[in-house]
Structure 1
Amino acid sequence: MNVYAPKSWLVLALVFLIAGCGSSSPPVQITQDASSGQTTYKTRQMRLSEIEMTQGLEKGNRFYMQVVGTCTSQDCVPRSYDLHFVKEGMQSVQIEGRGVSLTIGTETLSWKDPQNRSVNRASTIRSGTFARVEVTSEQLSTIGGVDEVSGTVGGEGFSISHEARAPIRQLLRRLEEGPDESSQASSSQGD
């Protein structure tokens, strides 16, 4: 007689329940504004690695990239996308401008600081989006698909792993499928 078998099943069920409840937001969120007819596609935030903007207690800060695309009509496909660079955490940090560069495979894309300040380029950021750049659909496809992506934002270097960029690939796949296939896929996935 195995007295411990029911307890092990209970523990296993509890592990699956916790894992299911702890799942993060969906990789791609689609919202439609009925009044404006605008459709917004937004990926989950993707963690930036190796970024060294913080020290000491500020190590609790986290930095992410998120893709947002908008277009006007239901089931439309955006022509371009914004890459939002986001800081989360309680401690404010200093950044050197808001310029962005991305090295995608062998290609480097650069965007200058939109504020184009000539004096005292350092600024303080707290939480939320602190830099935003626009990319084409083709550039986004390359960013999602290549093995390595690295770059700089606010004067600090970062990398973003292929695994972390999975929401980009899922967004592009959903847009390629079209409205019929993606609605069937989303309804079969459940919440």
Structure 2
Amino acid sequence: MVANAGTNEHEWIFTGEELKDIHVLRTGGDYIEVTCGCTSRKYGDTTGRLRIFVGGQLEISCECVESCSEDKLTPAQFESHSVRGQPKKKWQSCIWVLIKDKKVPLCKTALLKYYKETWEGENGRSRPKRAIHRDEFIRCSSCNKERRFSLRTKEECRIHHEASINKHWTCAS
């Protein structure tokens, strides 16, 4: 089934113009599924089914061979699986979808419109939501001890900066 403008049953995710001529396999309650693939110079094309969920998540089921059990892969995992080794880490341009029977990179389509990169790692830990600054040390010119500066707020960063540019900085003790 090819999605045509105006007659699209899943316009709540994408407009008919955005899905025009993309080979849509099926739609679910909260996703659409399209044919996708990744090309390796050494191994050729690996095809799959890309599910795009309303919340922006992307999930790929690999169809490289009938016995392949790779299911629910992230785009980066699919790229790694299809090139059988080290991915280029540019999956947005390496993974393609079929538009008018031509391979078009995901980055050149509207399919990444709602993509939200999740930071959930393989080990189940999530990436911190704010930047973590490392503590810095400056040696006191009076007592010759290294003093720690935690750089977690704007005020702490300012205090550290002022101390670091002062060659004769002394601690409070």
- TM-score past 0.5 threshold: no
For this structure pair, what is the TM-score category when the shorter chain's length is used for normalisation?
A: under 0.3
Higher RCO, Cα 8 Å, sep 6+: 1
Structure number with the higher helix fraction is 1
Write 1 or 2 for the structure with the bigger share of strand. 1
- Report which of the two structures shows the higher radius of gyration computed on alpha carbons: 2
- TM-score between the two structures when normalised by the length of structure 1: 0.26
